[in-house]
Protein backbone atom coordinates (compact mmCIF):
# COMPACT_ATOMS: atom_id res chain seq x y z
CA UNK A 1 0.00 0.00 0.00
CA UNK A 2 2.91 2.36 0.77
CA UNK A 3 4.27 1.83 -2.74
CA UNK A 4 0.87 2.66 -4.21
CA UNK A 5 0.82 5.96 -2.28
CA UNK A 6 4.28 6.80 -3.59
CA UNK A 7 3.17 6.08 -7.14
CA UNK A 8 0.10 8.29 -6.78
CA UNK A 9 2.27 11.10 -5.39
CA UNK A 10 4.49 10.69 -8.44
CA UNK A 11 1.38 11.08 -10.53
CA UNK A 12 0.68 14.39 -8.79
CA UNK A 13 4.13 15.56 -9.85
CA UNK A 14 3.41 14.48 -13.43
CA UNK A 15 0.12 16.37 -13.43
CA UNK A 16 1.82 19.44 -11.97
CA UNK A 17 4.43 19.36 -14.71
CA UNK A 18 1.73 19.26 -17.37
CA UNK A 19 -0.04 22.17 -15.70
CA UNK A 20 3.15 24.23 -15.69
CA UNK A 21 3.77 23.59 -19.38
CA UNK A 22 0.22 24.63 -20.19
CA UNK A 23 0.98 28.16 -18.94
CA UNK A 24 -2.23 30.17 -19.38
CA UNK A 25 -4.31 27.26 -20.70
CA UNK A 26 -7.10 25.91 -18.55
CA UNK A 27 -5.98 22.66 -16.92
CA UNK A 28 -8.48 19.98 -15.97
CA UNK A 29 -7.72 17.36 -13.35
CA UNK A 30 -9.35 14.07 -12.42
CA UNK A 31 -8.64 11.42 -9.80
CA UNK A 32 -10.14 8.16 -8.64
CA UNK A 33 -9.67 5.55 -5.95
CA UNK A 34 -11.35 2.21 -5.48
CA UNK A 35 -11.37 -1.21 -3.87
CA UNK A 36 -12.00 -4.31 -6.00
CA UNK A 37 -12.60 -7.89 -4.89
CA UNK A 38 -10.34 -9.05 -7.77
CA UNK A 39 -8.15 -7.38 -10.40
CA UNK A 40 -9.26 -8.77 -13.76
CA UNK A 41 -7.40 -7.70 -16.90
CA UNK A 42 -9.27 -8.88 -20.01
CA UNK A 43 -10.88 -11.56 -17.88
CA UNK A 44 -7.69 -12.88 -16.21
CA UNK A 45 -6.94 -12.25 -12.52
CA UNK A 46 -3.63 -10.47 -11.85
CA UNK A 47 -4.16 -10.57 -8.08
CA UNK A 48 -4.59 -14.33 -7.60
CA UNK A 49 -8.32 -13.68 -7.01
CA UNK A 50 -7.55 -11.42 -4.03
CA UNK A 51 -8.81 -7.85 -3.32
CA UNK A 52 -6.82 -4.86 -4.58
CA UNK A 53 -6.62 -1.11 -4.10
CA UNK A 54 -6.50 0.99 -7.27
CA UNK A 55 -6.20 4.71 -7.96
CA UNK A 56 -5.47 7.21 -10.70
CA UNK A 57 -4.49 10.83 -11.28
CA UNK A 58 -4.79 12.69 -14.58
CA UNK A 59 -4.34 16.23 -15.91
CA UNK A 60 -5.51 17.52 -19.25
CA UNK A 61 -5.06 20.64 -21.37
CA UNK A 62 -7.60 21.67 -24.06
CA UNK A 63 -6.15 22.51 -27.47
CA UNK A 64 -9.52 23.56 -28.86
CA UNK A 65 -13.21 23.18 -28.07
CA UNK A 66 -13.12 19.57 -29.29
CA UNK A 67 -9.54 18.34 -28.75
CA UNK A 68 -7.39 18.01 -25.61
CA UNK A 69 -4.18 16.30 -24.51
CA UNK A 70 -3.69 14.50 -21.21
CA UNK A 71 -1.20 12.63 -19.06
CA UNK A 72 -1.57 10.61 -15.91
CA UNK A 73 -0.79 7.57 -13.80
CA UNK A 74 -2.88 4.58 -12.77
CA UNK A 75 -1.75 2.19 -10.04
CA UNK A 76 -2.94 -1.06 -8.49
CA UNK A 77 -1.80 -3.33 -5.72
CA UNK A 78 -1.24 -6.95 -6.78
CA UNK A 79 -0.46 -10.29 -5.19
CA UNK A 80 2.98 -11.83 -5.77
CA UNK A 81 1.44 -15.31 -5.92
CA UNK A 82 -0.09 -14.39 -9.28
CA UNK A 83 3.41 -13.85 -10.70
CA UNK A 84 3.13 -10.13 -11.50
CA UNK A 85 4.90 -8.65 -8.48
CA UNK A 86 3.49 -6.56 -5.64
CA UNK A 87 2.07 -3.66 -7.68
CA UNK A 88 1.49 -2.26 -11.15
CA UNK A 89 1.85 1.32 -12.36
CA UNK A 90 0.66 2.54 -15.75
CA UNK A 91 2.16 5.85 -16.91
CA UNK A 92 0.32 7.27 -19.90
CA UNK A 93 -0.19 10.26 -22.20
CA UNK A 94 -2.45 10.88 -25.15
CA UNK A 95 -5.10 12.94 -26.88
CA UNK A 96 -8.88 12.81 -27.08
CA UNK A 97 -11.71 14.70 -28.68
CA UNK A 98 -15.13 14.69 -30.25
CA UNK A 99 -16.52 14.88 -33.80
CA UNK A 100 -20.22 15.51 -33.50
CA UNK A 101 -21.60 12.74 -31.29
CA UNK A 102 -18.52 10.56 -31.81
CA UNK A 103 -15.79 10.56 -29.16
CA UNK A 104 -12.23 9.35 -29.76
CA UNK A 105 -9.06 8.84 -27.75
CA UNK A 106 -5.54 7.55 -28.40
CA UNK A 107 -2.76 7.06 -25.86
CA UNK A 108 0.61 5.50 -25.12
CA UNK A 109 1.17 3.63 -21.84
CA UNK A 110 4.20 2.21 -20.06
CA UNK A 111 3.18 -0.62 -17.73
CA UNK A 112 5.57 -1.26 -14.84
CA UNK A 113 5.36 -4.31 -12.55
CA UNK A 114 7.35 -3.91 -9.36
CA UNK A 115 9.18 -6.84 -7.76
CA UNK A 116 8.85 -8.81 -11.01
CA UNK A 117 11.59 -9.02 -13.62
CA UNK A 118 11.05 -8.77 -17.35
CA UNK A 119 7.33 -7.93 -17.26
CA UNK A 120 7.36 -4.19 -18.03
CA UNK A 121 6.04 -3.37 -21.51
CA UNK A 122 4.72 -0.67 -23.84
CA UNK A 123 1.09 -0.37 -24.79
CA UNK A 124 -0.80 1.58 -27.45
CA UNK A 125 -4.56 2.07 -27.17
CA UNK A 126 -7.30 3.74 -29.23
CA UNK A 127 -11.06 3.93 -28.70
CA UNK A 128 -14.16 5.47 -30.26
CA UNK A 129 -17.42 6.05 -28.40
CA UNK A 130 -20.83 6.64 -29.94
CA UNK A 131 -24.55 6.51 -29.16
CA UNK A 132 -26.63 3.55 -30.36
CA UNK A 133 -30.18 4.60 -29.73
CA UNK A 134 -30.53 4.77 -25.93
CA UNK A 135 -27.25 2.90 -25.46
CA UNK A 136 -23.69 4.14 -25.22
CA UNK A 137 -21.32 2.13 -27.40
CA UNK A 138 -17.54 1.86 -27.57
CA UNK A 139 -15.06 0.04 -29.80
CA UNK A 140 -11.36 -0.16 -29.01
CA UNK A 141 -8.04 -1.75 -29.83
CA UNK A 142 -5.01 -2.26 -27.56
CA UNK A 143 -1.60 -3.38 -28.80
CA UNK A 144 1.05 -4.65 -26.36
CA UNK A 145 4.77 -4.80 -27.16
CA UNK A 146 6.60 -7.25 -24.89
CA UNK A 147 10.28 -8.21 -24.69
CA UNK A 148 10.00 -10.39 -26.67
CA UNK A 149 6.63 -10.76 -28.35
CA UNK A 150 3.40 -8.82 -28.78
CA UNK A 151 -0.37 -9.17 -28.59
CA UNK A 152 -3.45 -7.32 -29.82
CA UNK A 153 -6.76 -6.98 -28.02
CA UNK A 154 -10.00 -5.69 -29.56
CA UNK A 155 -13.19 -5.07 -27.63
CA UNK A 156 -16.65 -3.60 -27.70
CA UNK A 157 -18.90 -2.36 -24.91
CA UNK A 158 -22.53 -1.33 -24.61
CA UNK A 159 -23.94 0.57 -21.63
CA UNK A 160 -27.28 1.92 -20.52
CA UNK A 161 -28.03 4.42 -17.76
CA UNK A 162 -31.60 4.18 -16.51
CA UNK A 163 -33.19 7.64 -16.78
CA UNK A 164 -33.68 9.57 -13.54
CA UNK A 165 -32.09 6.77 -11.49
CA UNK A 166 -28.58 6.07 -10.16
CA UNK A 167 -28.52 2.64 -11.86
CA UNK A 168 -26.60 1.62 -14.98
CA UNK A 169 -25.68 -1.62 -16.76
CA UNK A 170 -22.78 -2.48 -19.07
CA UNK A 171 -21.75 -5.40 -21.25
CA UNK A 172 -18.27 -6.18 -22.60
CA UNK A 173 -16.93 -8.56 -25.26
CA UNK A 174 -13.23 -8.81 -26.12
CA UNK A 175 -10.81 -10.89 -28.19
CA UNK A 176 -7.03 -11.22 -27.65
CA UNK A 177 -4.41 -12.91 -29.79
CA UNK A 178 -0.62 -12.91 -29.55
CA UNK A 179 2.30 -13.97 -27.39
CA UNK A 180 0.42 -14.20 -24.10
CA UNK A 181 -2.86 -15.72 -25.28
CA UNK A 182 -4.05 -17.17 -28.57
CA UNK A 183 -7.72 -16.76 -29.50
CA UNK A 184 -8.76 -15.73 -25.99
CA UNK A 185 -12.29 -14.37 -25.64
CA UNK A 186 -13.55 -12.57 -22.56
CA UNK A 187 -17.01 -11.28 -21.76
CA UNK A 188 -18.73 -9.52 -18.91
CA UNK A 189 -22.02 -8.07 -17.73
CA UNK A 190 -22.27 -5.68 -14.82
CA UNK A 191 -24.48 -3.25 -12.96
CA UNK A 192 -23.65 -0.17 -10.92
CA UNK A 193 -25.26 2.24 -8.48
CA UNK A 194 -23.90 5.78 -8.06
CA UNK A 195 -24.55 8.06 -5.11
CA UNK A 196 -22.91 11.46 -5.45
CA UNK A 197 -19.22 10.58 -6.08
CA UNK A 198 -19.40 6.96 -4.87
CA UNK A 199 -20.13 4.08 -7.26
CA UNK A 200 -20.84 0.51 -6.16
CA UNK A 201 -20.51 -2.11 -8.87
CA UNK A 202 -20.93 -5.83 -9.44
CA UNK A 203 -19.75 -7.47 -12.68
CA UNK A 204 -19.82 -11.05 -13.90
CA UNK A 205 -16.71 -11.93 -15.95
CA UNK A 206 -15.58 -15.05 -17.78
CA UNK A 207 -13.26 -16.28 -20.57
CA UNK A 208 -12.76 -19.32 -22.77
CA UNK A 209 -9.34 -20.05 -21.25
CA UNK A 210 -7.87 -21.83 -18.23
CA UNK A 211 -4.98 -20.07 -16.47
CA UNK A 212 -3.76 -21.97 -13.36
CA UNK A 213 -3.12 -19.85 -10.25
CA UNK A 214 -0.80 -20.42 -7.30
CA UNK A 215 -3.20 -22.93 -5.75
CA UNK A 216 -4.33 -24.50 -9.02
CA UNK A 217 -7.50 -22.44 -9.34
CA UNK A 218 -8.40 -21.00 -12.73
CA UNK A 219 -7.47 -17.31 -12.84
CA UNK A 220 -9.50 -16.87 -16.04
CA UNK A 221 -12.65 -18.64 -14.89
CA UNK A 222 -16.06 -17.16 -14.21
CA UNK A 223 -16.33 -14.76 -11.29
CA UNK A 224 -18.26 -11.82 -9.91
CA UNK A 225 -16.13 -8.74 -9.17
CA UNK A 226 -17.45 -6.36 -6.51
CA UNK A 227 -16.14 -2.80 -6.40
CA UNK A 228 -16.51 0.49 -4.54
CA UNK A 229 -14.99 3.49 -6.31
CA UNK A 230 -14.92 7.25 -6.00
CA UNK A 231 -14.09 9.85 -8.66
CA UNK A 232 -13.17 13.41 -7.82
pLDDT tens digit at each of 232 positions of the chain: 545 445 544 555 555 555 454 455 689 999 999 999 999 999 999 999 999 999 999 999 999 999 999 999 999 999 887 777 889 999 999 999 999 999 999 999 999 998 878 889 999 999 999 999 999 999 999 999 998 899 999 999 999 999 999 999 999 999 999 988 889 999 999 999 999 999 999 999 999 999 887 778 899 999 999 999 999 9
- Quote the pTM value: 0.86
Is the C-alpha dihedral spanning 170, 210, 125, 107 positive or negative? Answer: positive
DSSP string, 140-204: EEEEEE-SS-EEEEEEEEEEEEPTTSSEEEEEEEEEEEESS-SSEEEEEEEEEEEETTEEEEEEE
pLDDT at residue 29, as a whole number: 96
Q: What region does 101 belong to: left with phi over 0, alpha with psi -120 to 50, or beta?
A: alpha
Residue-wise pLDDT tens digits, 193-230: 999 999 999 999 999 999 887 778 899 999 999 999 99
pLDDT at residue 22, as a whole number: 46
Q: How far is CA 185 from the centre of its chain?
A: 18
Options 2.40.160.160, 3.40.50.2300, 2.40.40.20, 3.20.20.60; CATH for 2-231 is 2.40.160.160
Q: What are the sequence ranges of the domains in the chain?
A: 2-231
- What gap in Å lies between CA 89 and CA 95, rounded to an integer? 20
DSSP string, 37-72: SS-EETTEESSTT--EEEEEEEEEEESSSSEEEEEE
Amino acid sequence: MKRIRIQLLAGCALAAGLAASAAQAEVTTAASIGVFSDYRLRGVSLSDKKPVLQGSLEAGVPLSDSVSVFAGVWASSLDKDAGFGASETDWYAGAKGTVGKIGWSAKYLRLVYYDAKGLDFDQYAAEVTFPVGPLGGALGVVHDEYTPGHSTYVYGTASYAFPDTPFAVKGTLGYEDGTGYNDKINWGLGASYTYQKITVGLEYQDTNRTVPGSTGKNLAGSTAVFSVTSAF
